[in-house]
Amino acid sequence: MAVKKIGTQTIKLKNPPSILETATITGSKEGEGPLGQYFDVILSDDLYGEESWEKAESKMTREAVKLAINKANLHPDNIDYMFSGDLLNQIISSSFAARELQIPFFGLYGACSTMTESLSLSSMIIDGGYADYVIAATSSHFASAERQYRFPLEYGGQRPPTSQWTVTGAGAALLSSSGNGPYITYVTTGRVMDFGVKDANNMGAAMAPAAADTILRHFKDTGFNPNDYDIIITGDLGKVGKELAVELVKKGGYDISNIYTDCGVEIFDLSEQDVHSGASGCGCSAVVFCGYLYKQLKAGRFKRILLISTGALLSPTSSQQGESIPGIAHAVAIERSV
């Protein structure tokens, strides 16, 4: 009997896991943005001393995980499980990092929704009594994502105004069955939504319906409303998708405009950094949460937040075959104290 499930898509955790520590590694462009002061490591070289963008991304994941564990005065041997994924084929950034770390590994693919997917599953496994320490992580890299999904950097193609800039960054959060918070208290798992958007340079529009659907379902399942949160923040919609999400949620009966923002809008200065509609990538919500949001929670400036990472479930093959872009969004409620 699913005693912890409320409504149709939400779980209320009876033993909410504590987020002991987080760690972030970002590229230089991210470090120059408005949130740069909240990141642990800012790279001066986006190759991170490696021979390829893909190796650099995997190194970011590995080092972010190690840093989060070290902050808690623990060792990888103390960690029961690692949940991680990324945007690359066969999630090589995460799996190659796990190869080095030797932590029991669950590989995930939720596109840019992977941060909250990993937080969700980590929380559930701790709440169920199956683990004491779990690391949730993800990463993305501008150059590796461009090579896989669009064109090599050397191509120099022009980007339309609706396009977004893939974040170079990795975030890791160490969850525990004990600790002083912040705590993950609710998990709302998203549904795959598809409104027929086919433009791979307008992923905000493709993902906005899934974000709105998950936010509305969270409110209906829990009985909460926007006033119950200090901030509601999506992962990777950018300016275009953010505006669409507000409209769609309002049509569902809730006005979130006063407390809502998007990680893809916050991480860069849209007027100065030439990122068009904003940021995207697994690393976007990962570093904004593990950096800025986590530190605001620890300082008591936020008491309760709703984080919704959003993913576009396309591949080069599906786009070449004329498929539309399905979207997914997972939400976690995080509270300063319980």
262-314 pLDDT, tens digit per residue, is 999 999 887 778 776 778 899 999 999 999 999 999 999 999 999 999 999 98
Instruction: Please indicate, yes or no, whether the overall pTM of this predicted structure exceeds 0.75.
Output: yes
> DSSP labels for 163-184?
--EEP-EEEEEEEESSSS--EE
Residues 325 and 149: beta-carbon distance below 8 Å: no
* Percent of the chain scoring above 90 in pLDDT: 82
**pLDDT at 164 > cutoff 80:** no
Using the predicted structure, report yes or no on whether residue 72 has a pLDDT greater than 60: yes
The backbone region for 183, taken as left when phi is positive above 0, alpha when psi lies in -120 to 50, beta otherwise, is beta
**CA distance to 73, 92, 219, 335, per residue, from 185 (Å):** 25, 31, 14, 7
Residues 6+ apart with CB under 8 A from 129: 15, 177
Residue 97, pLDDT score: 98
- Please calculate the CA angle 76-81-83 and round it to the nearest 5 degrees: 110
**Class of domain 183-335 (CATH, top level):** alpha beta
- CATH ID of 5-176, from 3.30.43.10, 3.30.565.10, 3.40.47.40, 1.10.3720.10: 3.40.47.40
Among 34-48, 182-196, 263-277, name the one with the lowest average pLDDT.
Answer: 263-277
pLDDT of residue 294: 98
Rounded mean pLDDT, 327-337: 97
Domains in the chain: boundaries:
5-176, 183-335
pLDDT tens per residue, range 217-230 = 999 999 999 999 99
Measure the CA–CA gap between 131 and 227, rounded to whole angstroms: 34
DSSP secondary structure code for residue 284 in this structure? H
Q: How far apart are CA 311 and CA 281, in angstroms?
A: 8
Tokens 């893909």 sit on residue: 54
Nearest in space to 100 (alpha carbons), one of 131, 76, 133: 76
Computed over every residue of the chain, the mean pLDDT equals: 93
* pLDDT: which is higher, 311 or 2: 311
For the stretch 192-222, pLDDT in tens is 999 998 887 787 889 999 999 999 999 999 9
Nearest to 307 by CA among 323, 287, 324, 322: 287
pLDDT of residue 145: 79
Identical fold at 5-176 and 183-335?
A: yes
Quote the radius of gyration of the chain (alpha carbons, Å): 18
Percent of the chain with pLDDT over 70: 95
